[in-house]
Chain A
Amino acid sequence: MTQQLDTTEIGAARGRVDARAKVTGTAPYAYEHHVDQATYGHLVLSSIARGRVTAIDATEAFAQGGVHAVVTHENAHRLADVSDGELAVLQSDRVGFRGQIVAIVVAEDPETAREAARLVQVTYDEEPHESVLDADSPDLYAPDQVNPAFETDTDEGDVEAALAEAAFTVDAVYETPVQHNSPMEPHQTVATWDHHDGRDRLVLLDSTQGVHPVRQTLAPLFALDPQQVTVEAPFVGGGFGSKGMPHANVVAAAIAAKHSGGRPVKLPLTRQQTFTLGGHRTPTVQRVRLGADADGRLDATWHEVVEHTSRVKEFAEQTAVATRLMYDSPNRRTSHRLHALDVPVASWMRAPGEAPGSFALEVAMDELAVATGVDPVELRVRNDPASDPESGHPWSQRHLVECLREGAERFGWQTGVPPRSRREGRWLVGQGVASATYPLNVMPGNEAEVEALDGGRYAVRIGAVDIGTGARTILGQIAADALGCPVGAVELSIGDTSLPFATVAGGSAGTTSWGSAIVAAARALRDEHGASPAVGAVARGVQPENPDTEQYSIHSFGAHFVEAHVDAHTGEVRVPRMVSVFSAGRIINPTTARSQLLGGMVMGLSAALHEETVIDPSGRMPNHDLAQYHVASHADIGHLEAHWLDEVDEHANPMGSKGIGEIGIVGAAAAVANATFDATGVRVRSLPLTADKLGG
């Protein structure tokens, strides 16, 4: 049990403190900072999927005038560490995927940079390549572990025997496509090299989810101490995982600034370039086999996953990991296999693992409900495990059943209505449900500093980043309660490596990890300086270890209820209504929390309806922009409700909160798919749920 804060500010619905700056557009994002003497970079990307660059001719590019440098593998600043294949930018002539950086143009203005980049002539020696995932490929392999450090395979009991004896079985293959995070602010960096304390210094303004992680990653590449790299990210236009670790573009900006005559380089990615350089969600092919008794009680759960990974750098998404603990099933087997391809590097996208994995498992559960004749809500209730089936630990709280019951009530869930039995005009109407879970992730090592100011005010400092989550608002609320002062007395500073160390805004771990450090610093200030500290009194706090995370299984849960309409003639899917209920511990700020939960649900709806990046046999991503990679727009989103259970998880952290950044997307697409089945009687097992799959 962690010592809980007395809450006054925590739990209060507070407006976003930076809302005014955002609605006027005066909040500065990375590229938007004024820097003296700026130059502008533009990337040249490879037009082959595999091979070598044999020649680069920059004559025409330089003929433009105003071009300061064309940086290629032949002249690029040498990195001290090239072990990371994604980040070893321009360190060799090798091309590992189509859309990889082969040159950087640095010019006086953006128009010149872009035109010059177009004029750079690159000649290649092309080699045979593979870019399309094949779940039956003989080359599949088992990674050592899956993201971030889960076992690749698990096997409990005798799943095959249990399946053979089951009264009812489901055996189906589910597919999810490549998806792109597509934050509205493309990745962009402003890089400057200068001298500080007699040493070289790399100064970055970056669009990132973690300033300290960028510092830690880039410093060794340039043979610098971490202190020689400063990173600022005051405002970030979304990330959803794609800015969770620095990608090649950040390294490219730092290299470009080695070639700009000491001037800063502004390097924005075009939207198209973000598709090959900013990471993506791996495609999955998932075979799920379930075996249940006559009452629908699971006896066997077998979830096999095949994904792609880039030959340049492995990323193994933990797609089946949540299946290990979602339902009570004595016999369980999960596995992950990778197909290494000559494709861009896959990475984190909101709820990596849980999001695609829940699509397969939760649609399979719907199929089991149909097979057994048990209502889908009731089926999930019946299979709710009393303790974590994977670790054997007790749950800190598992209120999935409450979420299901409350959601069914609020939604108006109907039982016993057969599929394809409701119609409103040309629309076939259906309802669907799916469960969600997401673990409490804790990122260790966070520190915070508190300083007493005059007038009973406090400065609170931590290098956390607000990527749109509301961190800038809620960390102030947490600090206020930790210090026992009004929220208006807290002056919070975030988003800068000059502040105490903070981990990434990712894994729904920010509030837990940063908040615990702030609470530790506040408690240290009180311990060291009493209730009325002198002006200038400073205390630092380090996020303590939480032993409960070893003894309890700590997870958020949720249940989504969706009404889907499917056009009886065209198969077009619309979602007029979605009601979701979450169990996520204490909600720190109902205003920003609701927005974040809704945002996750919207991204899940978007995945259900639209999202699919094509990687064709040539290794291209032909739909690499927002006109062809569709994300949900205003007209796609109907009536949404996000509710939560009023609760506190005292095992989680001093705030009693769990993460809310990702739980909203988990299961959302499955609920839509299940609703479209209910509407049409047509079972679609691949995302997105486009008209061609449902029509007729």
Chain B
Amino acid sequence: MEADLTWRVDGVEHTLAVDTRTTVLDALRDRLGNTSPKKGCDHGQCGACTVLVDGRRQLSCLGLAVAHDGSEITTAAGLVDGDELHPVQQAFVDHDGLQCGYCTPGQVCSAVGMLDEVKAGHPSAVSDDLEADVELDEDEIRERMSGNLCRCGAYSNIVAAIEEAARA
């Protein structure tokens, strides 16, 4: 069964008919040819498919495309501003926060979404005071980024990159 869907992806509006079984991730990758979000598990277990949906980080393999009519989706490819990388992306480059690069677009989108959550005052499981402003130390970053696996083990550099981006 197919259904019509209109959404904006990386600033461009697309209208398409999708199989109702199609996930956001597969619609992006197989239908729109936007392979910036990666498929690592297809089950919400790795974070490689993380995109921003209406500004919030989300696992695109866990959402059905038809449920996102009208959504604004941003992938790591859409975070750039012209030739300029997003500050989080630039920090990943500067700190070598990547190796094979397969988890990287998901890590980047997750970090961008996470920094906004911190600004909005969301506590995490390691926040001592649930009411106070979050002090984004290494433990907070590690906790908040733990949905994004990196089998290459670039974690130390990713944390350093996010710390720098958070300071900027």
Contact = CB atoms under 8 A, between A and B. Distances in A.
Contacts of A632: 153, 155
Given A15-B96, A24-B89, A599-B152, A635 B142 contact: yes
Interface in B84-104: 85, 89, 92-94, 96, 98-104
Interface string B33-50: 101111111110110100
B104 A637 contact: no
Interface string B44-81: 01101000000000000000000000000001110110
Contacts of B108: 23
Contacts of B94: 15
Contacts of B143: 634-635
A632 B145 CA distance: 12
Contacts of A85: none
Nearest to B159: A634
B24 interface: no
B96 A592 contact: yes
Interface residues of B, number: 57
A467 interface: yes
A467 B100 contact: yes
Given A24-B36, A237-B38, A634-B155, A626 B149 contact: yes
B48 A634 contact: no
Contacts of B105: 22-25
B22 to A, nearest CB: 6
Output the residue of A23, A27, A637 with the most chain B CB within 10 A.
A23
B150 interface: yes
A240 B151 contact: yes
A621 interface: no
B100 A236 contact: yes
Interface stretch (A127-135, A178-186, A418-426, A548-556): A178-186
A237 B93 contact: no
Contact of B151 (A16, A238, A595): A238
Contacts of B157: 595, 598
Contact of B99 (A21, A599, A637): A599
B115 interface: no
A27 B103 CA distance: 12
B102 A238 contact: yes
Contacts of B92: 19, 23
A137 interface: no
Given A634-B145, A635-B146, A238 B99 contact: yes
Nearest to A239: B100
B9 interface: no
Given A25-B77, A183-B100, A625-B41, A640 B150 contact: no
B36 to A, nearest CB: 3
Given A625-B41, A637-B155, A110 B30 contact: yes
A26 interface: yes
B146 A634 contact: yes
A28 B77 CA distance: 12
Nearest to B76: A25
A393 B136 CA distance: 54
Output the residue of A16, A185, A469, A634 with the most chain B CB within 10 A.
A634
Nearest to B155: A637
Contact of A110 (B26, B77, B151): B26
A591 B76 CA distance: 23
B165 to A, nearest CB: 12
Contacts of B29: 32
Contacts of A591: 96
5 contacts: A184-B103, A238-B152, A268-B39, A271-B46, A635-B142
